[in-house]
Amino acid sequence: MQIMGIVNTSPDSFSDAVRLTTAEQQIAHARVLVACGAGIIDVGGESGVTYTEHTPVSEEIERVVPVIAALSEDGVTVSIDTFKPAVAEAALSAGATILNDVSALHDPELADVAAAHGATLVITHTRAAPKQRSFPEVGDIVADVEELLVEKIALARDRGVEHIVVDPGPDFTKTPAQTIEVLRAIERVRALQLPWLAAVSRKYFIGAITGREPHERLAGTLAAVGWAADHGAAIVRVHDVGEVHDYLAVRATLSGHAEVPEFDSEDERLMWIRHDR
């Protein structure tokens, strides 16, 4: 399972404990995430929160392109989190290779952009337009996820997209109870026989379970990551890359899927806390 690290270049993301206000800060943070174990960096220039207005396309491009270009020069696999074709075009031209569309192809032109660049397209389940403040009631949420993903996969393929990842859309037009219902039925998504992405980091459904605010949801996020690994997720999208990497490393070693790595047996820091320093 690959770890996708999150780098937000927008000033209003709901889950960022610290705002990174310059491209230099955002690039440096992304490099730290890579060093901590991220195989993909997901760069976003507009928050999905519904209490702010849409960011102008030119401003979103100005936010994300310098970060993407610098990381691409480093050889990092970069994803662009956007629902706007013009932003996607600029980002893919700057070196991104994954288009993470959380709008369920609200604008089908996104599929055309992905196809033209040979990019991987992430299709997320949602029934609301971007920034829409309300969403329709759905009777059978699991069936709705399956139905919409099948429809959008066909649309993307018809427009020439060859590489598709699906995201069941935790919290997107879903109550916490509905999100949990969908995740419990994840085998219905896996039956589509495409890689699936688990975007579970600091999500509302974890807050509903634990009663904790976004910056306090690491333990809940790790539990969700472990569940995703048990259920065949190809990618997990997270903020706390180092902690998730360590969790997965210990998990893999204890389960026999990895061996204990080489380490310095003389390094006392690995044995105990020294209070005489």
Q: Note whether 144 and 121 are within 8 A (CB).
A: no
For strands 197-198 and 120-124, give the pairing: unpaired
Q: Note whether 57 and 85 are within 8 A (CB).
A: no
* Residue linked to tokens 């396309």: 57
Given this model, what pLDDT does residue 12 score?
58
Is 0.95 topped by the overall pTM?
A: no
For strands 77-81 and 98-101, give the pairing: parallel
Which of the 8 DSSP states describes residue 128? S
237 labelled catalytic: yes
Give the Cα separation of 213 and 8 in Å (integer).
Answer: 19
- Structure-token pair, residue 128: 């609301």
Distance of CA 60 to the CA centre of its chain: 18
Given this model, what pLDDT does residue 21 score?
79
Select which of 190, 203, 217, 274 is catalytic. 203
Which of the 8 DSSP states describes residue 199? -
203 labelled catalytic: yes
Give the Cα separation of 80 and 95 in Å (integer).
Answer: 10
Hey, which residues does 81 pair with through a beta bridge?
44, 100
Q: Note whether 92 and 119 are within 8 A (CB).
A: yes
Select which of 31, 237, 269, 277 is catalytic. 237
Give me the phi and psi of 47, to 5 degrees please.
-70, 150
Given this model, what pLDDT does residue 175 score?
94
Which residues have C-beta within 8 Å of that of residue 183, sequence separation ≥ 6? Answer: 168, 170, 227
Given this model, what pLDDT does residue 153 score?
98
Q: How many residues does the chain have?
A: 277
SS3 state at 237: strand
Tens of each residue's pLDDT in the chain, 277 residues: 999 999 999 875 555 455 677 999 999 999 999 999 999 999 999 876 655 677 899 999 999 999 999 999 999 999 999 999 999 999 999 999 999 999 999 999 999 999 999 999 999 999 888 766 677 778 899 999 999 999 999 999 999 999 999 999 999 999 999 999 999 999 999 999 999 999 999 999 999 999 999 999 999 999 999 999 999 999 999 999 999 999 999 999 999 999 999 999 999 889 887 766 5
Given this model, what pLDDT does residue 48 score?
63
Given this model, what pLDDT does residue 52 score?
64
- Structure-token pair, residue 17: 């404990």
Give the Cα separation of 92 and 47 in Å (integer).
Answer: 19
Give the Cα separation of 244 and 12 in Å (integer).
Answer: 24
Given this model, what pLDDT does residue 13 score?
55
